Amino acid sequence: MSKVKILALVVLVALMSSLFAACAAPAPAPAPAPAPTPSPTPAPAPAPTPSPAPAPAPAQPAEVFKWEYQTLHPVGSATYPGFHAKLCDRVREMSGGRLDITLHPGNEIVPTYEQTEAVRDGILHMVHSDLGGDMALVGKKALLLGASGYPAGTMVDEDFAWFYLGDGFELAKNVFKDYGVVVGLLSEGQELFCHSHKPLATAADLDGIKFRTIGLWAEVLGSFGASVVTISGGEVYQAAEKGVIDAFEYAGPTVNWPMGFHEIMEYVGVPGIHSPTASHPIQVNPQAWNELPGDLQQILMAAIERQSYEWSTELLVTDSASLQKYRDYGTEIFTVSDELQAEIAKRSLDITMKYVAEEPGFKEIWENKKAFVKTYKEGKAATKLKYSIYD
C-alpha cells in the first residue's frame, strides 16, 4: 500500500474515533462532597456565681449617759417618789435607756445647800436646788424664780405659766449661767403655814418663836420678832423633836403627812400665805449638758415639764384628803387671821421694793414677772365662774 493510502487511512481512523467520542453519553458529574456536619453550638458558659454580700458590721450599741441627780427632798418626802423618782423613770423610758439618771436624796452626796456649787464643779450632773439657799450665790433675784417662802407671791399655775409661757425660763438661765444650765422647773402647790406647838394666828403669836424657814419669809418673820432657824428638810423632824425649833414650814399636806410631823407637833396652820407655791429650777452641769446629744436634751426638758405639771396637779387633788388625815389624827388646824395675812403681804411687798432699789438685776425680773402675772390674773378673773354645778 502506498504511503499516501496509509496516511489517509490513519487520518480516517482518527476522525472516526473523534466522532464516536463526541456522540458518547457524557460522564456523570462527580457527586458533590457532602457538606461538613456543623459543629454543635457550644453551650454558653454558666454565669459566675456572685460572691455573697459581706455581712453588715454589727451595729454599735448606743452610748449610755449615766448621771447622778441629787434633790432637796429626803426619801420620806412624797415628792421624792412622786416627782423625782418618776422623772428618772420617765427619762429612762423616753430615751430607750440612753440617759440613765440615778437619784439621791438631800445631803447624800453633798450638803443640801451646796448643790448648786456641786453641779458647777461636776460633783453632780443634775440638781434640784433651793432658791433661798442660792441667794448667797446669785443674789435675792433667785427668789423671784419661784422660791418657796415668798409671802403673798405667785400661785403654782401662775408660776408655771410665767416660766414656760413667759420669760421665766430664759431669765432663770441667765441668773444661773455661772453655775449650771437650767433645764426645767419643779412646781409644787401651796405650803401649810406651819407645824407648831400652839396656834400662830396673829402677829403677837410670832414674837419670840424659833421658826425654821428660809428666803424672803425669813426676813418678814424676823420683822415680827421671830427667831429664824435655817436647816435642811431632812433635819426638821429631829430639830422639832429636840426643841431646837418651835415651829416650821415645809410643804403642803400631801408632802408633809408621810414625814410624820403630826407625831411631834400639835397644830397646823392654813392658808400658806407665806409660800403660795414652791418652785425650784433644775440645773445640769454645763459640760455634761454639752456632751448630751440634742435629742436627749429635748427628752430631758420635755420629761421635766410634763412631770412637773403632773405632780403639781396631783397635789391639788390629794392635798384635801391629806389635810383630812391630820384632822382624823387629832391635829388642830387653825386659820391665820386676815389681819396677819394682810400685814405679811404688806411687809413682803415693802421688802421686795427694797430689793428692787438695792440689787442689780432684781428690778428687771420683778417687772417682767409682775406684768405677766397681772395679765394672767386678769384672764383668770374674767373667766372665773361664780356658780358651778360641781360646787
Q: How confident is the model at residue 288 (pLDDT cuts 50, 70, 90)?
A: very high
Confidence at residue 11, expressed as pLDDT on a 0 to 100 scale: 39
Confidence at residue 50, expressed as pLDDT on a 0 to 100 scale: 62
Confidence at residue 45, expressed as pLDDT on a 0 to 100 scale: 57
Confidence at residue 22, expressed as pLDDT on a 0 to 100 scale: 42
pLDDT of residue 224 exceeding 80, the answer is: yes
pLDDT tens for 16-36 read 444 334 434 444 444 455 555
Q: How confident is the model at residue 10 (pLDDT cuts 50, 70, 90)?
A: very low
pLDDT of residue 254 exceeding 60, the answer is: yes
Confidence at residue 46, expressed as pLDDT on a 0 to 100 scale: 61
- Mean pLDDT confidence for 172-182: 97
Q: How confident is the model at residue 15 (pLDDT cuts 50, 70, 90)?
A: very low
- Mean pLDDT confidence for 140-156: 91
User: 320 or 29: whose pLDDT is higher?
Assistant: 320
User: 221 or 187: whose pLDDT is higher?
Assistant: 221
Q: What is the 3 state secondary structure string of the chain?
A: CCHHHHHHHHHHHHHHHHHHHHHCCCCCCCCCCCCCCCCCCCCCCCCCCCCCCCCCCCCCCCCCEEEEEECCCCCCCCHHHHHHHHHHHHHHHHCCCCEEEEEECCCCCCCHHHHHHHHHCCCCCEEECCHHHHHHHHCHHHHHHCCCCCCCCCCHHHHHHHHHCCCHHHHHHHHCCCCCEEEEEEEECCCCCEEECCCCCCHHHHCCCEEECCCHHHHHHHHCCCEEECCCHHHHHHHHHCCCCCEECCCCHHHHHHHCHHHCCCEEEECCCCCCCEEEEEEECHHHHHHCCHHHHHHHHHHHHHHHHHHHHHHHHHHHHHHHHHHHHCCEEEECCHHHHHHHHHHHHHHHHHHHHHCCCHHHHHHHHHHHHHHHHHHHHHHCCCCCCCC
Query: Percent of the chain scored above 70 by pLDDT?
Result: 85
pLDDT tens for 262-273 read 999 999 999 999
pLDDT tens for 78-111 read 999 999 999 999 999 999 999 999 999 999 999 9
- Mean pLDDT confidence for 334-359: 97
Confidence at residue 14, expressed as pLDDT on a 0 to 100 scale: 43
Confidence at residue 3, expressed as pLDDT on a 0 to 100 scale: 43
Domains annotated for the chain, with CATH where assigned, are 65-189+278-330 (3.40.190.170)
Confidence at residue 54, expressed as pLDDT on a 0 to 100 scale: 67
Mean pLDDT of the chain: 88
pLDDT tens for 198-221 read 999 999 999 999 999 988 999 999
pLDDT tens for 296-318 read 999 999 999 999 999 999 998 99
pLDDT tens for 34-43 read 555 555 555 5
pLDDT of residue 257 exceeding 90, the answer is: yes
Confidence at residue 23, expressed as pLDDT on a 0 to 100 scale: 39
